[in-house]
């Protein structure tokens, strides 16, 4: 499984250096943290990796291949999945359908075949349905399979988004504040899933406001502040770094 690497990546919005000269690695098989106060540039990093925003400077590599100028659909096809800080589901489609959309990357039957309802496509559809149900079970969403996604509680919608993001079995998955708005029980359930995904070889980039959650889960943590990478390394060392403490003054580090 490939590593994801950012090399001296910057994103400027006019005069604002939202991300400035950032270098980081997301290795396979582990959870890497990205923390920092609001406005630090975390979501901008995810948007650049996933091809939603163009880079101003620098390079992004998946394995030894640059993906810096690839469109979002190409980045996804190459094996980088993501969730959004602001949930993006098809509100009127069912939970099951939303998750099935995530299989798109690995779909083998062409669209016309599906439309004609040819046996191969039907079989494949059934296979995908079974797989989608398994994913729903993993995220404890089975009972909501046929509900419209828009009618779910916020925490459940986040889980649907995650199930969809990993449906295509990406090598790397970028999780932008996945446990925001969840209680401790729900967060710990997700922590278990994240650990399992890492154990299966996936590389996870976990963006989170809850520093305690990140320090428990990550082997390596990066800290952004005003677009600059101010610290990185072992979580227990990083959260005691005076630069990191200073960046979080007025917010809560626990
Ligand atoms: N599309 C955009 N246009 C202009 N400024 C932006 C845009 N997206 C983000 N920013 C600015 O870039 C900075 C970093 O934002 P963001 O990456 O969302 O931070 P974080 O996710 O760490 O809270 C903020 O000052 C934000 O206002
Ligand atoms: Mg953000």
Q: What is the number of the ligand closest to the CA of 223?
A: 1
Provide the token pair at 112: 């016309």
The answer, yes or no, to whether residue 250 has pLDDT greater than 90, is no
Q: What is the number of the ligand closest to the CA of 177?
A: 2
Task: Output the CA 44–ligand 1 centroid distance in Å.
Answer: 6
Decide if 142 is inside a domain.
no
Confidence bin at 91 (pLDDT 50/70/90): confident
- Full residue range of the structural domain in which residue 227 is found: 4-79+170-247
Q: What is the number of the ligand closest to the CA of 178?
A: 2
Atom index in ligand 1 nearest the CA of residue 37 equals: 22
pLDDT of res. 210: 83
The answer, yes or no, to whether residue 23 has pLDDT greater than 60, is yes
Cβ atoms 244, 230 nearer than 8 A = yes
The answer, yes or no, to whether residue 116 has pLDDT greater than 60, is no
Task: Output the CA 52–ligand 2 centroid distance in Å.
Answer: 14
Closest CA to 6 of 248, 232, 189: 232
CATH number at residue 220: 3.40.50.300
Helix (H, G, I), strand (E, B) or coil at 78: coil
Decide if 236 is inside a domain.
yes
pLDDT digits (tens, 9 = 90+) for 182-192: 888 889 999 99
Residue 190 CA, chain-centre distance (Å), reads 13
Confidence bin at 120 (pLDDT 50/70/90): low
Q: Is 207 in the pocket of ligand 1 (CB under 6 A)?
A: no
Rounded Cα distance, 122 and 39, in Å: 46
What percent of the chain is predicted at pLDDT more than 70? 89
Rounded mean pLDDT of 98-113? 64
Pocket test for ligand 1, best of 44, 177, 228 (most atoms within 8 A of CB): 44
Rounded Cα distance, 140 and 102, in Å: 17
Atom index in ligand 1 nearest the CA of residue 176 equals: 21
Strands 220-225 vs 31-35: parallel, antiparallel or unpaired:
parallel
pLDDT digits (tens, 9 = 90+) for 122-181: 667 788 889 899 999 999 999 999 999 999 988 899 999 999 999 989 999 999 999 988
The answer, yes or no, to whether residue 115 has pLDDT greater than 60, is no
**What is this structure's pTM?**
0.90
Decide if 71 is inside a domain.
yes
Decide if 84 is inside a domain.
no
Mean pLDDT in the chain? 89
- Residue with more model confidence, 25 or 94: 25
pLDDT digits (tens, 9 = 90+) for 29-63: 999 999 999 999 999 999 999 999 999 999 999 99
Decide if 162 is inside a domain.
no
The answer, yes or no, to whether residue 121 has pLDDT greater than 80, is no
pLDDT of res. 114: 52
Pocket test for ligand 1, best of 13, 14, 50 (most atoms within 8 A of CB): 13
Pocket test for ligand 1, best of 10, 11, 12, 16 (most atoms within 8 A of CB): 16
Task: Output the CA 140–ligand 1 centroid distance in Å.
Answer: 33
Decide if 215 is inside a domain.
yes
Phi, psi of 178 (to 5 degrees): -70, -25
pLDDT of res. 129: 86
Cβ neighbours of residue 137 under 8 Å, at least 6 residues apart?
A: none
Q: Atom 25 in ligand 1: which residue has the minimum CA distance?
A: 39
Q: How many domains are contained in the chain?
A: 1
Atom index in ligand 1 nearest the CA of residue 53 equals: 1
Decide if 159 is inside a domain.
no
The answer, yes or no, to whether residue 67 has pLDDT greater than 90, is yes
């Amino acid at each position: 499984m490939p590593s994801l690497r950012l090399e001296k990546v910057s994103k400027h919005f006019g005069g604002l250096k939202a991300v400035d000269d950032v270098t980081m690695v997301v290795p396979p098989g582990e959870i890497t943290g990205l923390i920092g106060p609001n406005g630090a540039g975390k979501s901008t990093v995810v948007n650049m990796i996933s091809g939603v925003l163009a880079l101003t400077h620098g390079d992004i590599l998946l394995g030894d291949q640059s993906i810096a100028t690839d469109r979002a659909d190409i980045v996804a096809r190459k094996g980088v999945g993501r969730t959004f800080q602001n949930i993006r589901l098809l509100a009127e489609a069912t939970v099951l359908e939303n998750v099935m959309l995530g299989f798109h990357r690995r779909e083998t039957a062409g669209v016309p075949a599906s439309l004609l309802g040819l046996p191969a496509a039907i079989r494949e559809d059934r296979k995908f349905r079974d797989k989608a149900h398994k994913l729903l079970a993993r995220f404890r969403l089975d009972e909501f399979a046929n509900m419209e996604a828009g009618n779910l509680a916020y925490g459940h919608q986040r889980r649907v988004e995650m199930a969809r993001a990993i449906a295509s079995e990406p090598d790397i998955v970028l999780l932008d504040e996945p446990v925001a708005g969840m209680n401790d029980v729900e967060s710990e359930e997700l922590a278990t899933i994240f650990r399992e995904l890492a154990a299966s070889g996936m590389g996870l980039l976990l963006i989170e406001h809850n520093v305690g959650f990140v320090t428990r889960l990550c082997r390596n943590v990066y800290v952004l502040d005003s677009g600059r990478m101010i610290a990185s390394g072992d979580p227990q060392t990083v959260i005691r770094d005076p630069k990191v403490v200073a960046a979080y003054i007025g917010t809560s580090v626990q």
